[in-house]
Amino acid sequence: MQLQNDLLLRAARGEKTERTPVWLMRQAGRILPEYRAVRNSVSGFIELAQTPELAAEVTIQPVDLLGVDAAIIFSDILVIPEAMGLPYEMVEKRGPWFPDTVSSPSDLKKLRIADGHNDLKYVIDAIKITKKELNGRVPLIGFAGAPWTIFAYMVEGSGSKTFSKARAMLYTQPEFSHQLLQMITDSTINYLRAQIEAGADLIQIFDSWAGILPPYHYEEFSLRYIQQICDAINEVPKTVFAKGAFFAREQMAKLNCETIGLDWNMGIAESRRMIGDNKTLQGNLDPAALYGTAKEVEAATKQMLDQFGTSRHIANLGHGVYPDIDPEKVKVFIETVKAYSIR
């Protein structure tokens, strides 16, 4: 299907664009009253994500209501461990929780390498429905968590400020850690391939807990597996977003991907020097900037755009939009990018 708006894909590939494309991480979520209405119609987040028609509905909402240049499928990075045989629960105001965890080689026997088409059929069905209903208006982004981030949850059992159990595992059981990471990686490749076959136009890898590792562990236990995923997926452009991995930007420049996402702590000019001109940069306004007045949001957005310049940039926040931010401020950010970045 011919896309009516392919700005995101052209920017990712380094082609000329009439203006800078813009979307937001977590755009399909709690900032929108329309999203909350859909979520309140079911038991919670997991049922919503596992109901393809409803997942498609909330995926499309930001396109209609905010005017973003891309949709991102409504799902969660933790669908991979569940598909591998390690289910999780989403506890209100606490986040994900795994009743069982993985802590020894014997636990690997309980897991399987996930098949993207069957084990995660509800996500694939949601992508197919979304593609049909978008009808070519904007691209659809598929995604998965980076293997290290998934590993961290599978070992720790929940979110954590330190992920000390998961980090300890890299020191005390490195061979086991690599075995589990490889299983996650193989599952993720299967999953992303199924997303692309279903219609995803671009995929993003989220390494949410990249920044808690020391550089030598990040290279061994995260980047090498992200590289495997990037090398395995060649059908669509790829974005790698590694929150907090400021120390790995030069190494990320060598990844077989088109776009590197920057968090709000990464200097733009410095990142461009370290990553070079052969990659598109995505980001990276501080989400907290959207708490300002409309004029302050506009000024901060223009300042960010000036720093990125007019080529190889996809405008976004430096992390997901916070749930208590006024949707009208989000619209100011989006509309400022559209108006100010016209070439």
Positions marked catalytic = 26, 30, 39, 76, 153
What are the φ and ψ backbone dihedral angles of 65, each rounded to 5 degrees?
-95, -30
- d(C-alpha 29, C-alpha 94), whole Å: 17
Residues 6+ apart with CB under 8 A from 162: 212
What are 149's two structure tokens?
A: 């981030």
Task: Give the number of other Cβ atoms within 10 Å of residue 41's Cβ.
Answer: 11
Residues 6+ apart with CB under 8 A from 225: 146, 147, 148, 181, 182, 184, 185
Instruction: Please tell me whether residue 91 adopts helix, strand or coil conformation.
Output: strand
Is 134 exposed, middle or buried (CB count within 10 Å of its CB: 0-12, 13-18, 19+)?
buried
Would you give the distance in Å from CA 147 to the centre of its chain? 13
Residues 6+ apart with CB under 8 A from 152: 160, 163, 166, 209, 212
Q: Are 241 and 264 in contact (CB under 8 A)?
A: no
- d(C-alpha 15, C-alpha 43), whole Å: 44
Pairing of strands 89-91, 95-97: antiparallel
Is 11 exposed, middle or buried (CB count within 10 Å of its CB: 0-12, 13-18, 19+)?
buried
DSSP sequence for 71-86: EE----TTHHHHHHT-
- d(C-alpha 60, C-alpha 130), whole Å: 7
| Phi/psi-derived region of residue 216, left when phi > 0, alpha when psi is between -120 and 50, beta in every other case | alpha
